[in-house]
Amino acid sequence: MRKIGLNEVEDIALGASLLGAGGGGDPYYGKLMAIGAIKECGPVDLVDPEEVPDDAILLPIAMMGAPTVLCEKGTGGNEYQVIYEMVSQYLGKPIYAVMPMEAGGVNSMLPIAAAARLGLPMVDCDGMGRAFPELQMVTFTIGGVKATPMALTDEKGNSAIFNTITNKWTEELARAVTMSCGGSVTVGLYVMTGAVMKAFGVKNIVTRSEMLGRAIRCVKDQDSLPPEEAFLRSCEGYRLFRGKIVDVLRETNGAFNLGRILLEGIGGCRGQTAEVSFQNENLAAVVNGEIKATVPDLICLVDTETFTPVTTEALKYGKRVLVVGLKCCEMWRSERGLELVGPRYFGVDTDYIPLEERAKGGNGYV
């Protein structure tokens, strides 16, 4: 067990924005919430997954909806207490700790704020190892864990508890309520025991986010490698493309941010073109008509000078970015994992081929 204070939050937020694969929302807003909660309530205890008792009850907390809406609409401040009381009363059992459900973007920060305000520890584990747009897209679904009972509340005080027959039904019904509540809500879902978390969770993901954030922040402080090479080594990334954004097509539909970006090559990629499509998160990277990476592997855009991740909300004409691929959690590469989050689920007309095979020869791993 160790403490998460203000310095740790900064690095976790930066690393989580990379693991968001373009989506999950800009962690800046969530970071402000986490910082405010820590200043008011003190640092948060981060618990190693193996330290959690097998029979302990864990409550993942997240936001649901379009991240752009959350940044504009905000939260009311009492949502975590409402979620905690709804779930603990429904179960008739005390909650041992909270945990993130996804590592990327704003949902990496909200559990920190919740833990501080509720006076509970947070477990160093999540259910994605990245960000995904739909709530059934977690490793716990692979393990047969139910998303319900799922508690939902908005900033106005509206609240509901769902009990559904499948996790996909949870997504469908909760998405409809989310739209009625203005496009973003706070949820508690996949309530589980410590034993289930150990069996199907992506462990030590908060620590990984912090290490990635620290590496990005310090990448220019080292002398042994050029900054881009140092960045790729620190995140075990694959260089897919370097280019300038020349067009952004974006819309908000059904509480999702949808679209694609077009890039023209710069530097070593001059004369080439690339396209990245997204649904909250980046789905596929195509270079000169050839697919270089697809979900569930992570496709991340970072600033070519600072290596700060660029979310889909921040995409704009003229921005110079490095397109980087990161390998996903191994569970996503299983048959069941690909049914949930493979390229065809998102309408990308290709079978999944691991990133390290697609990127072979040319823009490879550094």
The domains of the chain are located at 2-205, 228-358
Over residues 225-238, the mean pLDDT reads: 92
State how far the Cα of 72 lies from the Cα of 312, in Å rounded to an integer. Answer: 15
Per the prediction, the chain carries an average pLDDT of 92
User: Phi-psi bin for 293: left (phi > 0), alpha (psi -120 to 50), beta?
Assistant: beta
pLDDT at 70: 63
Give residue 362's pLDDT band: very low, low, confident or very high (50, 70, 90). very low
CATH code 3.40.1610.10 for 2-205: yes
- On the question of a common fold for 2-205 and 228-358, the answer reads no
pLDDT at 9 over 90: yes
- The burial of 61, by beta-carbon neighbours within 10 Å (0-12 exposed, 13-18 middle, 19 or more buried), is given as buried
pLDDT at 137 over 90: yes
* Strand 122-123 versus strand 44-47 pairing type: parallel
State how far the Cα of 168 lies from the Cα of 147, in Å rounded to an integer. Answer: 9
Going by C-beta distance under 8 Å and a sequence separation of 6 or more, which residues neighbour residue 176?
Answer: none
pLDDT at 67: 61
pLDDT at 28: 82
pLDDT at 363: 45
- The burial of 165, by beta-carbon neighbours within 10 Å (0-12 exposed, 13-18 middle, 19 or more buried), is given as exposed
Superfamily covering domain 228-358: CV3147-like (2.40.390.10)
pLDDT at 364: 46
State how far the Cα of 327 lies from the Cα of 340, in Å rounded to an integer. Answer: 17
Sequence letter at residue 22: G
pLDDT at 123 over 80: yes
Give residue 164's pLDDT band: very low, low, confident or very high (50, 70, 90). very high
State how far the Cα of 68 lies from the Cα of 45, in Å rounded to an integer. Answer: 30
| pTM confidence score | 0.91
Give residue 19's pLDDT band: very low, low, confident or very high (50, 70, 90). very high
State how far the Cα of 288 lies from the Cα of 272, in Å rounded to an integer. Answer: 6
Tokens of 313: 């909300």
Is residue 309 within 8 A of residue 20, CB to CB? The reply is yes
pLDDT at 72: 67
First to last CA, the chain: 33
pLDDT at 366: 44
Give residue 183's pLDDT band: very low, low, confident or very high (50, 70, 90). confident
Helices 6-19 and 205-218: crossing angle in degrees, nearest 10, is 90
Residue corresponding to tokens 């909250």? 280
pLDDT at 254 over 70: no
